[in-house]
Amino acid sequence: MKRRTFLAAAGGVAAAGAGLARPALATTVGVTATELKIGNTMPYSGNASSYGVIGHGDAAYWKMVNDMGGVGGRKINFISYDDAYSPPKAVEMVRKLVEEDKVALLFHPLGTPTNTAIQKYCNAKKCPQLFVSTGADKWGDYKHFPWTIGWQPSYQVEARIYAAYIKKNFPNGKVALIYQNDDFGKDYLIGLKDGLGADFSKFVIKVVTYESTDATVDSQVVTMKDSGADVLVTAAIPKFAAQVIRKVYDIGWKPAHFMTNVSSSVGATITPAGPEKAVGMITSQYLKDPTDPEWDKDPGMNEWRAFMKKYIPNGDLTDGGYVASYGACTTMHQVLKQCGTDFSRENIMKQVANLKNETVPVLLPGITVNTSPTNFHPIRQMQLARWAGKTYQRFGDVIQG
């Protein structure tokens, strides 16, 4: 078992007002007079290990917060375990975080299958499962899972955006879909069905799947090419997304290619696949792309670069995972500020559901974070972008999902 614990020196001096509130918080789970415990699981190993940079980014952010004095007079004790993108391992690690480490909340655990495995447990324990690092649509189900909330846009919304673009620009297109055989991948199938409606069977002629434990998806790519499809939709994590891009190029297939935004990172997907092999590929964005020269002088991205330089000096500045981490952490930081000195789980959830047009330095212009007791989909806007060989070029309007 790998444990990654990130804790700055405890013992920050609180304001006098905070001191008055401490006796009432003495029994609050995960909270002491000087510390707030936050738990996390992340695939630092396994087929999804390229996402591990997100965990490192999260840890570095809370180190920065601690260096600035913490939140509410308390330093953040961020405890992150490796779950290897394995649901059983995620359950084991989350039980340890909740029952042994006694964290106040879970923040940014990554993966649809792993978060699915812990969702009922977290809600039964009334332990906040916050801003999960996955866009599965079900994280917005506030009625049945009031202690769980997403952060990034819904995969179903993203797929409906692709469906609308395909109907308009490829009215006679023959679509092949490859997706990971879990709720992550299935959301893209649902979204395409919703977006294409009665025309789904007219457009989609081939659907194939893969398991996250597979070694390769090369055979699936060949099968899709042989189907006669000229439009490809890929819903895969970075390892397999890179394989799809590479195999499509190597066998001389030239479909219009739509790639899930969670595998659009230059550092995690495009570079391993070969930048020249992805030219023309379309994805959707809600975050500023660190490789796009448009953001070279952007105040928000300069803030992020300064953070990277100081806290992750050897980090890959082309890897969008670090950008996603910074955005989610900024949102979580705002929630904690709104909590004042009351870090009870109930108040944390109250503040989570009370974010109004929050600006985040790394979100695209015009995109803000909004939540309410009946809105657990904080980000609902995206913009299409096309890979041009060295960076992405955004086109069209910001689309509201």
In a domain, 194, yes or no: yes
Residues 137 and 257 both lie in one domain: no
Domain that holds residue 192: 155-285
In a domain, 391, yes or no: no
Split into its structural domains, the chain has a count of 2
Q: List the CATH number of the domain containing 23.
A: 3.40.50.2300
Residues 162 and 149 both lie in one domain: no
**Per-residue confidence (pLDDT) for residue 16, from 0 to 100:** 31
Rounded CA separation 107/130 (Å): 5
Tokens of 320: 């969008």
Rounded CA separation 163/284 (Å): 12
Point out which residues pair with 394 in neighbouring strands: 385
Residues 133 and 206 both lie in one domain: no
Q: What is the pLDDT of residues 21-37, one digit of tens each?
A: 443 444 699 999 999 99
Residue in the structure block whose two tokens are 């444990």: 3
In a domain, 385, yes or no: no
Residues 25 and 62 both lie in one domain: yes
- In this predicted structure, the answer to whether residue 266 has a pLDDT above a threshold of 90 is yes
- In this predicted structure, the answer to whether residue 53 has a pLDDT above a threshold of 90 is yes
Residues 91 and 169 both lie in one domain: no
Residues 144 and 267 both lie in one domain: no
DSSP 268: I
Q: What is the pLDDT of residues 194-214, one digit of tens each?
A: 999 999 999 999 999 999 999
- For the segment 227-239, the average pLDDT, to the nearest whole number, is 98
Strand ordering across the sheet containing 175-180: 204-210, 175-180, 231-235, 256-259, 282-285, 381-387, 392-400
Q: Taking a C-beta distance cutoff of 8 angstroms, is the pair 243, 277 a contact?
A: no
Residues 188 and 265 both lie in one domain: yes
Q: What DSSP string runs through 322-358? A: HHHHHHHHHHHHHHHHHTTT---HHHHHHHHT---SB
- Our CA dihedral for 399, 276, 257, 229, rounded to 10 degrees, sits at 170
Rounded CA separation 394/139 (Å): 27
Q: What is the pLDDT of residues 79-100, one digit of tens each?
A: 999 999 999 999 999 999 999 9
Three-state SS string over 72-141 comes to: CCEEEEEEEEECCCCHHHHHHHHHHHHHHCCCCEEECCECHHHHHHHHHHHHHHCCCEECCECCCHHHHC
Rounded CA separation 247/253 (Å): 9
In a domain, 15, yes or no: yes
